[in-house]
Amino acid sequence: MVKKVVLAYSGGLDTSVILKWLQDQYQCDVVTFTADIGQGEELEPARAKAEKLGAREIFIDDLRQEFVSDYVFPMFRANTLYEGEYLLGTSIARPLIAKRMVEIAADVGADAVAHGATGKGNDQVRFELGAYALNPNIQVIAPWREWDLNSREKLLAYAERHGIPVERHGKKSPYSMDANLLHISYEGGVLEDPWAEAEDGMWRWTTAPEQAPDQPRYLEITYAHGDPIAIDGEPLNPAQLLAHLNAVGGEHGIGRLDIVENRYVGMKSRGCYETPGGTILLKAHRAIESITLDREVAHLKDDLMPRYASIIYNGFWWSPERRALQTLIDQTQRLVNGVVRLKLYKGSCMVVGRQSQESLFDPRIATFEDDAGAYNQKDAEGFIKLNALRLRIEKRLQG
């Protein structure tokens, strides 16, 4: 029995139908929750539609700062990439939404939460693992796994029967899209053929590299304890900083990606992504680490990163293993301070300078000129022979 449910609500067709369907199917009160995580859409229409459809209470929360500071930045401290390419823009937003849903459920006395993720995707896993980790007694309702409204045509017919307002003016995008301050994603439509090139008109945030400005753009990013805090010397809060990098990177064609990824539910999926600010931050963070991190610490982070990325992609942000890894990662960032200079040009992002008071780069030792005895080259002979010992022994035994 469900008396009250908190619904993650966007105001679009799917979640508007779900709002009505929950009232009819479960005979319960529905509280809507809409998260502003920088998707760039006007959210007040969602409030008006929720009121019209009989939502008991309506929450619209600005979570942009929390999203970037508490989720995006910790993930970037690890230089996280899923399967070597994907910057996890959708994945990293879901634990925050799940957390806020559970908090609202506690505040309003709801006994269930609901979401509009389909039974084929990863988001159902991310939302529900997050909800159960934060409230093991919560009930989760996933309408796409219960109803037979498994097509847009059926959803539209349901909306018409029940007087649910649907925006029909303008051409609907053929893609399933998700946007936040970190990225925008595209799936479906022609992208379901992995041989078909994405249409030029699909991209929304980035200029085509061949049409980007003919003059490069230089910028400097200042880091403190592994997090970016300023651009070109101007301090910015986390949301402002990422938004600024999205605008600059998008102008110069930075951050387009076309991949086939392995979903946690077992299937392969082709998706396209625009992550201009994230692409710049990944490059910059690795650059500042290159002069401030010990070699073995840097290599250990690289070894752990794929595991950390899979944990986030698969929805285990709130797991003990993610928290343990985060503690290790954050400890490595104590001295990751300094400035990185980058050059943006027609889709490329190149590091052209890095400096830090904590730099481990010693020019006296690294120089190709006279080092005045800072490094004894003869020491390398014994080092090499010791490392070659096992190889020589094996070769002698082989004859």
Is 319 annotated as belonging to a binding site?
no
Is 91 annotated as belonging to a binding site?
yes
Is 123 annotated as belonging to a binding site?
yes
Is 236 annotated as belonging to a binding site?
no
Strand partners, 36: 62
Q: Is 14 a catalytic residue?
A: yes
Q: Is 214 a catalytic residue?
A: no
Catalytic hit among 29, 64, 77, 123: 123
Length of the chain: 399
Q: Residue 187 in 3-state DSSP? A: strand
Q: Is 390 a catalytic residue?
A: no
Q: How far is Cα 12 from Cα 9, in angstroms, rounded to an integer?
A: 8
Is 89 annotated as belonging to a binding site?
no
Catalytic hit among 14, 29, 178, 227: 14
The DSSP 8-state label assigned to residue 37 in this structure reads S
Is 226 annotated as belonging to a binding site?
no
Q: How far is Cα 212 from Cα 61, in angstroms, rounded to an integer?
A: 35
Residues 6+ apart with CB under 8 A from 283: 342, 349, 350, 351
- Please give the backbone phi and psi of residue 159, each rounded to the nearest 5 degrees, phi first: -60, -40
Is 9 annotated as belonging to a binding site?
yes
Is 109 annotated as belonging to a binding site?
no
Q: How far is Cα 187 from Cα 191, in angstroms, rounded to an integer?
A: 6
Is 64 annotated as belonging to a binding site?
no
Alpha-helical runs (H) found in 333-378 = 363-366
Is 375 annotated as belonging to a binding site?
no
The token pair at 304 is: 């752990």
Q: Is 94 a catalytic residue?
A: yes
Catalytic hit among 176, 319, 348, 359: 176
Is 15 annotated as belonging to a binding site?
yes
Is 106 annotated as belonging to a binding site?
no
Catalytic hit among 64, 94, 256, 354: 94
- Please give the backbone phi and psi of residue 290, each rounded to the nearest 5 degrees, phi first: -60, -25
Is 35 annotated as belonging to a binding site?
yes
Cα-based torsion angle of the residue sequence 220, 68, 323, 283 in order, rounded to the nearest 10 degrees = -30
- Binding-site positions for ATP read 8-16, 35, 116
- Binding-site positions for L-citrulline read 86, 91, 122, 126, 176, 185, 261, 273
- Binding-site positions read 8-16, 35, 86, 91, 116, 118, 122-123, 126, 176, 185, 261, 273
Q: Which residues are catalytic?
A: 14, 94, 123, 176
- Binding-site positions for L-aspartate read 118, 122-123
